[in-house]
Chain A
Amino acid sequence: MAKKLGFLVNIERCIGCHACEISCKSFYQLEPNMRRRRVTELPEELVGTPVRAFVSTACNHCDEPACKKACPVGAYTKREDGIVVHDQNMCIGCQMCGKACPYGVPQFNPVKKKMDKCSMCYDRLDVGQLPICVEKCPLEAIQIVDYNEVEPSNSVSVVPTFADPSITHPTTHFILPKPGKQTRRF
């Protein structure tokens, strides 16, 4: 059976150090304001009791990618293993994919005048290496999972600030932090 690769982001582990974001940016030599992965802070009331939580997101390599449907030149392909690849040589920079993606993932590169997005480092995966973000996270909070093989039971497919997954069926899953114990002082 074909693979269905996706990110599994462990919010419980993430300390918000931005190493994934910056290592990716530096590896791909992105322009100053561009990011293929972003770390943002989540609302404190995420799991009932207040927690300080961060989430790292990139392209969700969706099952029904809106970017692919919108692109007039067919610059997007979904590989057998589920990775959604953007071909910059094809792109004419109309930015329609950025509008159509519910997660606003594709970003305009102001120098190349083309769009840019996470490729799940497929060329590294193809030679047995890990994506840069996965490799550089000091807490091993990002993994690549084949969701056709395992569906981690403790994971969820949506967190606050994440758009409705029924639109494009993103493959990214998240592990939520455990609610902390409330200590009441009298």
Chain B
Amino acid sequence: MHDLPLVIFTILSQLVIGGFVTLWWLDRKKCPISRQSGLMISISLVVLGAISVLISLLHLGHPFEAYRAILNIGVSWLSREVTFYGMFVGLSVLYTWFWLKDEAGKRSLIGGIASAIGVIAIFSSAKIYMIPAIPAWNSVTTLFSFFLTSLILGPLFVGAFLAIRGELSANISGISITALIAAAIVMVVYFSSLQGGLPQAVEAARLTTHQLLFWIRLFTFVIAFAILTFTFKNQYKQNNIIYSLVFVILFVSEFLARFQFYETAIHL
């Protein structure tokens, strides 16, 4: 499928930004994270960020000329996405450096700036797709779902990592459950607005719900929600397995949803 690099890029970049903001936030809130764990998470986010950039290049006819994609930043949201995400990945390398040097003050400052730029990158990314030519994309639900992917995958990634290392001291289930509830509401709004929209939007809804992938997406979403809710009470115990499992399930779920987002986009 022609847009597969974009499916992978958007999911990975949103995961990385969500994970980064979570790590920065926990570190800032003085949740005890050992230097080694902070460094490991930070390095893995940089690596995932770099992979996402490389994969996004596969979508171009001329990947080696990608540097030119920042030229039209004045009007093009794609230019803005490339610029801000590039800056974010660059700053996250610097952030990792301050984990290595164990300089908490500078880490917090650079992390804050990078987080803000990451948020602008996700915003720009969503705006690329909010175009009248593709009615199923041209809605604020695109914006919400991009941010929610970040909120669903990012904290769980860091939570699972810290839980495996036995260092998790914050409540990750709460934010994940809230994000899933918000995502469920956005999903309902999305499908009802497609049904009431232009013929191309109605067709996009029909195509989406007629694919098996949609039902796998829904099933994994519900399962992840159920696991998080039922284990909410004992969140400080055994959550290494729970968080890792839920992260993998939700990664699959979000991936399928994004795949369908591209696959069923009907042009005017």
Contact = CB atoms under 8 A, between A and B. Distances in A.
Contacts of A34: none
B267 A72 contact: no
Contacts of A91: 61-62
Given A99-B133, A100-B131, A101-B133, A72 B76 contact: yes
Interface stretch (A24-32, A63-71, A132-140): A63-71
Contact of A92 (B66, B76, B131, B267): B66
Given A92-B65, A113-B62, A104 B267 contact: yes
Given A102-B268, A114-B61, A69 B133 contact: no
A163 B268 contact: yes
14 contacts: A66-B132, A69-B75, A70-B76, A72-B69, A72-B76, A72-B79, A91-B61, A91-B62, A92-B62, A96-B76, A113-B61, A113-B62, A163-B268, A164-B132
7 shortest interchain CB distances as A-B pairs? A93-B61, A113-B61, A74-B72, A72-B69, A72-B78, A72-B79, A163-B268
Contacts of B59: 94-95
Interface string A149-186: 00000000000000110010000000000000000000
Contact of A71 (B76, B82, B134): B76
Interface of B: 59-62, 65-66, 68-72, 75-79, 82, 128, 131-134, 267-268
Nearest to A103: B268
A69 B134 CA distance: 15
A122 B50 CA distance: 42
Contacts of A101: 133
A167 B61 contact: no
A100 B68 CA distance: 19
A163 B68 CA distance: 31
Nearest to A114: B61
A73 B268 contact: no
A114 to B, nearest CB: 6
Nearest to B73: A72
Interface in A58-93: 66, 68-74, 90-93
A73 B71 contact: yes
B76 A69 contact: yes
Contacts, number: 80
A95 B134 CA distance: 14
Nearest to B80: A72
Contact of B60 (A68, A71, A94, A167): A94
Contact of B72 (A66, A73, A93, A100): A73
Given A72-B82, A104-B267, A167-B132, A94 B69 contact: yes
A73 B75 contact: no
Contacts of A147: none
A164 B132 CA distance: 9
Contacts of A112: 61
Nearest to B83: A72
